[in-house]
Chains A and B, each alone.
Chain A
Amino acid sequence: MIRAAIQNVAGWVAAHPVTSFVVFFAVFPFLVPYQSLATQVLIYGLFALGFNLLYGYTGLLSFGHAAYYGLGAYGTGIALAKLKVTSLWLALGVGLVTAVVGGALIGFFCLRRRGIYFAMLTLAFAQMLYFIAFHAADLTGGDDGLRGIPLHPLTLPGLSLSLRTPLAFYFFAYALIVLAVAGLRRILDSPFGAVLQAIRENSDRAVACGYDINRIKLLSFVFSALFTGLAGSLDALRLTVVPVESLYWTTSGQVVIMTLLGGAGTFFGPFVGAATFLILADRLSLIIEAWPIVIGVIFMAFVLFLPRGLWGTLTSPGVQR
């Protein structure tokens, strides 16, 4: 009875993804213990969504998504703190361009190899960026992180809004992320999105069908870097500082964990996973200091026993991967 009801709701949500997203996240900040946690869930959900486009839908496991997240964050942060850009939109644009250019370059190299090599290469390139940011202290603040990012008011034609309250910032991020979610839905529903999933299922067959899969994979990589970079840019504004760890492999690891907890290759999995991870980490850290052990063990259990993740299992329980 209850199970059927849950599945009905999940089924409706899966059928109307963007509407569901808009409705749910409009009330979400009032459901969690504090509003900044809601913003964090939204931003990390977007980060995981970018990762999921590449892993869940194209079948390419990146272990270096910290790179595009960090590039977005540093791009926006440096524009505001060092280049003294006063327009929030321009600063966001700089972050996105940085992430996309980085994604295109790194993607070009990494896509020369497939499978497991690809995962290792993405990891290596992300670490390379970490060391660059670490040593280029004049630009990035090095070990101390990039500090002093001013949060300018948001300017739209005819009005100017302050983002200084947590709720105002939440809805600013919400508006942009709704656009991103609608954009992703549009990409996945397009013929291009169908080819991505064809590559995931059987790349040889996609080649045989006449698709230039290297070009399509690179395009998917760049779109993934775009979504991820937007998450990084927003997080730089949320924190008004870019810690150098945002480029570290642990950040890449976190987004892998979130996506798999929620369900790779499902539309809402990344947001479900981000919420689960962040709320779990928030609560666990109050109880035990070594909470990453618990997260590590839960993650292993998911890989072994629940590879479809929470959302994947909920929406199509009987299907085995």
Chain B
Amino acid sequence: MFDVPLSALAAQVFTGLVLGGIYVLMAIGLSLIFGLMTVVNFAHGSFYMLGAYVAFSVIGLTKSFWAALILAPLVVGALGLLVERFLIRRLYGRGPDDPLLLTFGLSLAMVEGAKVLWGKIGLQVDPPRQLAAPVDLGFMNFPVYRLFVIAVTAAVLLALWLFLEKTNVGLIIRAGSRDALMVRALGLDLNRVWLLVFGIGIAMAGLAGVLAGPMRGVYAEMGVEIIIDSFVVVVVGGMGSLAGAIVAGLIMGEIVSLTTFFAPKLAELIIFIVMAFVLLVRPSGLFGEAGLAE
């Protein structure tokens, strides 16, 4: 049917894995924040954008991508803490629409703010020198930086899983997402846990932005493009489900990547088509519980 060399197809599958990794980092943060405090963070994409810009500036100052890889998510995460503490916290107890509206306004201000600080023209970030060359995988050549992105994503997911499953704080977070009232009744301070989770989610968005920068360029609207894709991933995976975010993120990454290869004009549409299909067959998403926080 399609006469394509196998190596080109394999390269596209790997590219899909990389894109899927970025989706997963975004969707996990969104899902974690939503599962715990029923806040849909519209500004999640703007923190992704900010991560990429901060990385650009850190690289400019230190000449080191590695410094940016560590520092930018921390800076963005710290900003996330401030946003939770001084803006979103005021809205707990109101309906779930209000945080969405607030973060929408925040996102608008951040996109314009980035244009003021870093200019309206897109910026380019080079991958670190050690990772710039392509690597020979035996059947094809593949940019080693992209393999690195896959590895970092996997490492972060593993760390997050260990944190949630094996630590006391992780236990409180899991309990809090089940029944916040009961956790409070046991005398635990959930405000601090929510602050922490918001910071972690935002830092992951920042990290996704740092990683995406060298592949997709850095520009003010990059966050809005990714947030809509990430929302779709979360809806397909099932809101609040971390496993759903991972599986749906990887599937969507592959679908987008392969569609780009076989039918480029459909590439931007395909995720919406998949979403509509999933909604028809399984309205609560692949891993979602019906009725959760609706």
Contact = CB atoms under 8 A, between A and B. Distances in A.
B165 interface: no
Contacts of A256: 101, 104
Nearest to B269: A131
B90 A120 contact: no
B112 A128 contact: no
Contacts of A116: 34, 38, 40, 96-97, 100, 239, 293-294
B106 interface: yes
Nearest to B273: A128
Nearest to A134: B268
A124 B294 contact: no
B293 A115 contact: yes
A173 to B, nearest CB: 28
B294 A253 contact: no
Interface string B98-115: 101110111111111101
Contact of A124 (B94, B104, B228): B228
Interface in A124-162: 124-125, 127-128, 131-132, 134-135
B279 A113 contact: yes
13 contacts: A63-B100, A115-B293, A116-B40, A116-B100, A119-B97, A123-B231, A127-B228, A293-B112, A295-B108, A296-B110, A299-B104, A300-B87, A300-B102
B265 A296 contact: no
A297 B105 contact: yes
Contacts of A63: 100, 104
B87 A304 contact: yes
B276 interface: yes
A269 interface: no
Interface in A243-294: 249, 253, 256-257, 260, 290, 292-293
Interface residues of A, number: 38
Interface in A94-134: 109, 112-117, 119-121, 123-125, 127-128, 131-132, 134
A56 B128 CA distance: 51
Given A116-B38, A132-B269, A299 B100 contact: no
Contacts of A121: 235, 275, 279
B67 interface: no
A303 interface: yes
Residues of B contacting A: mostly: helix
Contacts of B8: none
A257 B100 CA distance: 12
Interface residues of B, number: 44
Contacts of B98: 303, 307
Q: Which of B234, B275, B276, B293 has the most CB of A within 10 A?
A: B276
A121 to B, nearest CB: 7
Contacts of A134: 268
A290 B283 contact: no
Given A109-B279, A303-B102, A123 B228 contact: yes
A79 interface: no
A61 interface: yes
A117 B116 CA distance: 33
Contacts of A290: 112-113, 115-116
Contacts of B91: 303-304
Contacts of A260: 101
B288 to A, nearest CB: 9
B32 interface: no
B232 interface: yes
Contacts of B224: 249
A262 to B, nearest CB: 14
Contact of A135 (B108, B113, B265): B265
